[in-house]
Amino acid sequence: MFNLFKTKAKGKAREEAAQKDSARASAHILWFDEIGKEDIPLVGGKNANLGEMYQNLAQTESKAFPGEKICVPFGFAVTAAAYRHFIQASGLEEKIREILEGLDTGNIPQLEAKGQQVRHEILAAAFPEDLEKEIKEAYDRLAEKLKLDKSQLDVAVRSSATAEDLPDASFAGQQESYLNIKGHYELLEAIKKCISSLFTNRAISYRVDRNFDHFKIALSVAVQKMVRSDRGASGVMFTLDTESGFRNVVLINASWGLGEFVVKGVVTPDEYMVFKPTLAKGFKSIIEKKLGSKEKKLIYAGEGVSPTKEVPVTEEDRDRFVLSDEQILQLSRWGAIIEEHYGRPMDIEWAFDGFTGELFIVQARPETVQARKGGQILEEYVMLEKGKVLCRGAAVGAKIGQGMAHFIKDAGQISEFKPGEVLVTEITDPDWEPIMKMASAIVTNSGGRTSHAAIVSRELGIPAVVGCGNATEAVQTGRPVTVCCAEGEQGKVYEDLLKFEVQKHDLTGFKPPQTEIKMIVADPELVFGYSFIPNKGVGLAREEFIISNFIKIHPNALINYDKLADAKLKEQIDELTAGYQSKLDFYVHKLAYGIGILAAAYYPHEVILRFSDFKTNEYANLIGGKLYEPEEENPMLGWRGASRYYDPNFEQAFALECQAVKKVREEMGLWNLKTMIPFCRTPEEGKKVLEVMAKNGLPHKHIKTRELASHDLRPELEVWVMAEIPSNILLVEEFGALFDGFSIGSNDLTQCTLGLDRDSKIVAHVGNEKNEAVKKLIKDLISRAHKIGLKVGICGQGPSDFPDFAEFLVREGIDSISLNPDTVLKATLKIKEAEEKMGK
């Protein structure tokens, strides 16, 4: 009897659940606290994700980040059932099918005409009375819930297609959003415009080309309380690096005003990057900040006109960062929480309310471009020749494309575009998606790496250079050009069709050799991509590239800025240091960001940073450098490396380098960063440098300036020394008593051993690192260093250029070999062969 009662109870529960599901499936209005990520068929991807976050992340504190709750503005969804009711009750389905009969998406004029006709029919149709009433009542109820006068309730009205934002198909940006909507009439019109946007030219083309049935996809509409970002700021956030697919960072773009200008690429926004593994440990792990130009913003318009308007941004606001460090970190924590909840990288939109001072998440969707990539094939595009650079901007992707340039000014010219051409424009209007997929590359004046042009180009797998500023003037229609995004974060548009190649590396079943293979790196813009090449970290990270390419100014010119008499020089420095409170902050922070990215890319493997090793002639080429650098007959053997760091004429500049390293280790939490002293001629010099480092916050175990507290668990700083002068090897034990390891600089060791000037081509034929004298020194170093318990590595091309030299190093027991990224795979195979010959 009991079992019978239990069975009946279960049956009744199932019946009630089925009735509830049926009621939800037919409901025209569902609130955010009633929907979740499984409800995409009912309310579309955008609404389903808003409901999911509102219910699960906005109401409950995160376990990973105690005390953190995500803020999501409340609202409701006009459902897919409501859309179907509208389409069928108004007779639109039959009309739309007739209009789209025989459509050829490659025929741009035909696509434009049919698309316009469909949208006109939708906008002219009337809502069924019952649906109109429900929408009005929901708007009024939202005002009540938020305790606002319904005449003052401003909402964002966003489309949410039922096939949008699926993990394997990005429909992002295919439908429209309408901001600052007030009152019943404006709301109903905005919803109708959202519905019509399901049939924009690009959306029709997108579905046809991907074999989606127009009427198997429905549209839901999100009606959400506006965040007053018109008085604040807004932007987008990805929980990975959008170019390389590197998973350990959060990438944030930010600009003033409403968010449409960032998404559509109208402005070049600020860009911030945060390292997730140390963020989770409580560190302030901002590893990059770039100031965007942010020339204009979108704000609320006055009564009786369009809901929004474009206005210029003041010069003061253009020259300052949109977000504070704490806001950057808060958004990053939220991004990490959202990613953890969904279990995959996410593409997120955020807004900052200028009235309340609060941050909000207003959209989230799975990231789809990098998520679709997989396999063990590493593809690398390599330029084989260089030419005249017509313009530069932010590189999107790491590919190279070429063709005839074609400047498209507006939608009226779209039909003129031919397959294989390079699209050049101010910004890409979303309506241009049909021609974007025909382009070999895209070049824009405006926009950042998360703009519409960037997102679409990534999805299409073509290179784009965005935010050039002058592309439409510098690149002429009909001119053959090569668009290169394979040379770092800066993309270049070259004149003519230049030679390049695509190298493919199959890493399936790859097993590293016993000898540790590390990398030689310098450019922070490339290292996330390089990190996928099998490696054990970085044996040589060069500071010089960061200083020359991102700082550009001699440190002494910043230290002595107030004493500079040259007004033009000061103006040049002011322009580069915009956004920073002081000139010294600029140097320390910029250097720390560059170093931080290098350390983050290979975390938790060790990254050995060599302090600056510019020669006097190289330092003189920096802005203001000629004021502080002497002229030397042979800079290669002059004032370089260790001898600069304790010199009164450079000690303050070296202190800035120490502060940058301290910031990376202690503030960003990148304890895998180690340091290295170049060109240290004597143990006495080494001791002086360690004392200067300790004085500037980098104490070393051999130079104790303070006792660590018992609770201080920070790893001690390791300081290595370059072995590139015979004295380093003749006095191994003396140097070894000061430092934690040796790194052979084979080029300088060859120079100093054989008396060769590396800059002189005349004597270059005399010898290289294979010379017996050089090899004898290396053999002696490895043997004696191992006896005192220190490791020895080598940095240079020798092991990849000379297989027998690599075999020699392996035979002598070298601990690690560091290589340039482009030679790692080739050299690794040679090193494995050498190990096999020796029976290792």
Rounded to an integer, what distance in angstroms lies between the CA atom of residue 603 and that of residue 346? Answer: 22
Are 261 and 312 in contact by the 8 Å Cβ rule? The answer is: no
**Is there a contact between 219 and 162 (Cβ–Cβ < 8 Å)?**
yes
Where do the DSSP E strands lie in 642-682? 673-677
| 3-state class (DSSP) for residue 759 | coil
Gyration radius (Cα) of the chain, Å: 30
- CA nearest neighbour of 57 among 39, 75, 69, 74: 69
Q: What is the pLDDT of residue 251?
A: 97
Which one, of 226, 227, 222, 225, lies nearest residue 29 by Cα?
222
Sequence-distant (6+) residues with CB within 8 A of 813 are 782, 783, 786
Q: Which residues contact 71 (CB under 8 A, 6 or more apart)?
A: 58, 358, 359, 360, 361
CA dihedral sign, ordered 237, 238, 239, 241: negative
Q: What would the two tokens of residue 38 be?
A: 């499984």
- State residue 45 phi and psi, 5-degree precision: -65, -45
* CA–CA dist 399, 483 (Å, integer): 8
Question: Per the structure block, which two tokens stand in for 198?
Answer: 């399901």
Q: What's the CA gap between 772 and 757, in Å, rounded?
A: 18
Q: Are 562 and 637 in contact (CB under 8 A)?
A: no
Give tens-digit pLDDT for 347-364.
999 999 999 999 999 999
What is residue 726's predicted lDDT score, i.e. its pLDDT? 97
Average pLDDT of every residue of the chain? 89
Q: Which residues are catalytic?
A: 452, 795
Residue 751, CB-side half-sphere exposure with 13 Å CA sphere? 18
pLDDT in tens, 778-797: 999 999 999 999 999 998 66
Residue at 286: amino acid letter? I
Q: At what angle do helices 108-124 and 92-100 cross, to 10 degrees?
A: 170
Residues of the chain below pLDDT 50: 164-174, 705-712
CA-CA distance, 526 to 486, in Å (whole number)? 9
In this prediction, residue 434 carries a pLDDT of: 74
Predicted pLDDT of residue 10:
59
3-state secondary structure of 666: helix
> How much is the pLDDT for 310?
93
The pLDDT score that the predictor gives to residue 170 is 42
Predicted pLDDT at 15: 64
Q: Taking Cα atoms as reference points, which of 656, 660, 687 lies closest to residue 673? A: 660
pLDDT of residue 379: 75
- What pLDDT digit, counting tens, does each position of 694-753 carry? 999 999 877 654 444 444 456 789 999 999 999 999 999 999 999 999 999 988 898 899
User: What amino acid occupies position 815?
Assistant: D
The token pair at 121 is 């029919």
CA–CA gap between residue 196 and residue 176 (Å, rounded)? 9
* The pLDDT of residue 151: 83
DSSP conformational letter for 715 = P
**CA distances from residue 612 to 35, 554, 728 in whole angstroms, order as listed:** 56, 12, 19
Neighbours of 765 (CB within 10 A): 8
pLDDT score recorded for residue 32: 97
CA distance 337 to 350: 14
What DSSP character marks residue 663?
I
The pLDDT, as a whole number, for residue 171 is 43
Residues near 598 by beta carbon (within 8 Å), at least 6 away in sequence = 521, 524, 527, 538, 541, 607, 609
Q: Is the dihedral of CA 385, 388, 389, 390 positive or negative?
A: negative
Digit-coded pLDDT (tens) for 244-259:
889 999 999 999 999 9
